[in-house]
Amino acid sequence: MYNINIKKEDWHLSLEKLLSTYEVFVPVKDEYSLDYEPFRLPEAGKIAYNDPKPATPLKNFFLPVRENVTSARIEDKPRIIIGVPNCDVEALKLLDEIYMEESFPDPFYRNRRNNTIIISSDCFGINEHCHCLTYGVKPYPTGYSDMALVADGEDVYLKVFSSKGEELASQLTASNVMTDTSVVTFLEEKHKAVEDLLTSRNKGLPDYMTTGMLVQKAGNGIWEKYSSKCVSCGACTTICPTCSCFLLIDKPGFEKVKQMDACQYPGFERVAGGEDTLFELPHRFRNRYMCKYVWRPQKFNAIACTGCGRCIEACIGRINKNELFMELV
Amino acid sequence: MANGKNIYKPVRARLDEVIEESPLIKTFVLIPEEEFSFSTGQFIELSVDGIGEAPFTPSSSPLVTDRLEVTVMKTGYVTGYMHQLKPGAFMGIRGPYGRGYPVKAFSGKEVLILGGGCGLAPIRSLLFTLEHMRDDLEKVILCYGSKTPSDCIYKPLFSRLNSIDKFEAYRTVDKTEEGWDGPVGVATKLLDSIKINISDSVAVVCGPPIMMKFGTIRLLEMGYRDDQIYLSMEKNMSCGLGKCGHCMMGEFFVCKDGPVFTYKEIKHNPDIWK
């Protein structure tokens, strides 16, 4: 239930004030794309609050492409990230399980998570390859973030999910506790429209569990066919909100640089002596599907594909994983 | 570092001694600058400053805590640099990582160890541990194969083991050389002539992938159950922390869930022998 109402103008003024304490990122739309940018009051009009979907996956805020993990200073300035789609929030569950598990918590990831307030938002439309709903992920906030946000005309509606969100809400000026419930009807209509759109666009696409079973029993032929257009560029894994594999690179002084890596690059599993179980391209290609739909969900209490569709958009070989799955059905 | 230890930072260790085991294998005796201990079968990430790091299971006794021995075969870029290091140099250590041998569960049993090649390094550490707890064991049999007699590491180990009560050690070679009068053939051949009470036994296999595969098949034929066979799996373990993804073996991170698995735990995955 959305419980805070604030005029958009006041919301933007509040964000301007918060800049003294926080770094604030908002989804900004220009003629080419929609992506996160630092908040600047004069350009607040360009913020696209409820449009799908920032080009950059949320993971990049927590897992930089490259960082020194032995001597780098841990950043302290807290951040607010606004307009995070639910597919990316859902993806964070897997990353949290990997990077914050008790035995070996990653101090850099954990610090960024603790210092970041995530404000998720409803998608009021879909992109060509969005298929979150097929995998049980709603196209609107369902928790796990700190707050949810809906913008409608001159109004902004907020819902608090966490204590971090609560604290932020207390810092907003000119906000009101909501009494008007008409936004509920407005949202129900919006949600239904987007869900109907997702359902009709992805008709026949198998759900997450079924996909796992199909992938597991698929023969070599399908991997050979679809990987024939793959150039191992790694765009799919780079843009994926759940892919988080990395390589540690040694630097003088026993320093380590952690750099994002991917099973789609040759040599990912090469061992001493040269043996490489993923040397053949179809094997590497299959590995990504097995990881996302079979192995990760077996091991973690989270899904490893949230249906954002970015990998399909990013592929320069125009490989569409959903076409592959439809062929397996 | 705020909030405790930095999991990526190595501990420096001084190289105290370099022992030449065979033309391609050296043992590095290291003295860590901070307190360091491990359980047998666990591994460490050993690094050459500014060059790279690689995973190794220490070959020394876990009961010795002031020094650590790591046996390294020269097989690639990082190990090539390791082999150039001289005593006095500093190396980096992260770890220990993973799940080692559940030696407590070996109490009261006959332990059969099947090893090949450089797999004898982690086995030596296990043997030290088993020697320490030999009063609780019925018997320990080591069957080990190397390519040639000169490729065999820790040669004095065999005569020493054979002099210890309850211990038996056998060696074979794939290819004979002058002066060798022992058996010729793969390590699994040695299993034909041993006496062991299988129902009251556990088997440990550590060696090159091909030996692990055929060793496991032979042990199953002999009557071992899948939960009596312990395999030390080898993968490209980069972070050692169950995060980087390089050592994925099906749903498992070999670095964290292993490297020691029972065959029962992993047999559903057809890719394990690859």
The CATH number for B107's domain is 3.40.50.80
Same domain? For B203 and B143 the reply is yes
Verify whether the Cβ–Cβ distance A261 to B244 is below 8 Å: yes
CA B142 vs. chain centroid, Å, equals: 13
Among B65, B96, B127, the domain-final residue is: B96
Same domain? For B118 and B222 the reply is yes
* Binding-face residues of B in 5-44 toward A, CB within 8 A: 5-10, 12
pLDDT in tens, B176-221: 998 899 999 999 999 999 999 999 999 999 998 889 999 999 999 9
**Sequential DSSP letters for A117-133:** EEEEE--SS--TT--GG
ipTM: 0.91
In-domain check, residue B268:
no
Structural domain harbouring B46: 11-96
Same domain? For B149 and B73 the reply is no
Same domain? For B92 and B108 the reply is no
- Per-residue pLDDT band at B1 (split at 50, 70, 90): very low
Same domain? For B22 and B134 the reply is no
Residue B269 has pLDDT above 90, yes or no: no
Does any CB of chain A come closer than 8 Å to the CB of residue B246?
A: yes
**pLDDT tens track, chain A, 329 positions:** 678 889 999 999 999 999 999 999 999 998 888 999 999 999 999 999 999 999 999 999 999 999 999 987 777 789 999 999 999 999 999 999 999 999 999 999 999 999 999 999 999 999 999 999 999 999 999 999 999 999 999 999 999 999 999 999 999 887 777 766 778 888 999 999 999 999 999 999 999 999 999 999 999 999 999 999 999 999 999 999 999 999 999 999 999 999 999 999 999 988 877 788 899 999 999 999 999 999 999 999 999 999 999 999 999 999 999 999 999 99
CA distance B44 to B27: 14
In-domain check, residue B204:
yes
pLDDT for res B3: 46
Does any CB of chain B come closer than 8 Å to the CB of residue A115?
A: no
CA distance A276 to A265: 12
Verify whether the Cβ–Cβ distance B8 to A70 is below 8 Å: yes
Set of chain A residues whose Cβ sits within 8 Å of the Cβ of B14: none
Does any CB of chain B come closer than 8 Å to the CB of residue A99?
A: yes
Taking residues B49-78, report their average pLDDT: 94
**Would you call the peptide bond into B96 cis, given omega within 30 degrees of 0 as the criterion?**
yes
Residue B61 has pLDDT above 60, yes or no: yes
Taking residues B102-108, report their average pLDDT: 96
In-domain check, residue B3:
no
CA distance A274 to A266: 12
Among B39, B68, B96, the domain-final residue is: B96
Taking residues B224-238, report their average pLDDT: 94
- Among the listed residues B110, B116, B109, the one whose alpha carbon sits nearest the alpha carbon of residue B190: B116
pLDDT for res A72: 77
Closest B-chain CA to A271: B236
pLDDT for res B210: 87
CA neighbours within 13 Å on the CB side: how many for A224? 3
- CB of B203 within 8 A of CB of B212? no
Same domain? For B226 and B121 the reply is yes
Verify whether the Cβ–Cβ distance A254 to B49 is below 8 Å: yes
Phi, psi of A46 (to 5 degrees): -85, -5
pLDDT for res A264: 96
Residue A163, Ramachandran bin (φ over 0: left; ψ between -120 and 50: alpha; else beta) = alpha
Same domain? For B73 and B155 the reply is no
Same domain? For B116 and B201 the reply is yes
For A13-45, letters b (16+ CB in 10 Å) and e give bbbeebeeebbbbbbbeeeeebebbebeeeebe
In-domain check, residue B81:
yes
Among B76, B96, B116, the domain-final residue is: B96
CA distance B84 to B53: 15
In-domain check, residue B253:
no
pLDDT for res B4: 60
**Which pTM value belongs to this model?**
0.93
Interface mutation target, options A97, A237, A248, A298, chain B, most CBs of B under 10 Å: A248
pLDDT for res A129: 97
In-domain check, residue B21:
yes
> How many domains are contained in chain B?
2
In-domain check, residue B182:
yes
Same domain? For B131 and B49 the reply is no
Same domain? For B18 and B78 the reply is yes
Same domain? For B205 and B135 the reply is yes
Strands A116-121 and A147-152, by their bridges, are parallel
Does any CB of chain A come closer than 8 Å to the CB of residue B251?
A: yes
H or E segment to which residue A155 belongs: strand A155-160
CA distance A233 to A256: 25
Q: How far apart are the first and last CA of chain A?
A: 39
Residue B2 has pLDDT above 60, yes or no: no
Same domain? For B130 and B223 the reply is yes
In-domain check, residue B270:
no
CATH number at residue B23: 2.40.30.10
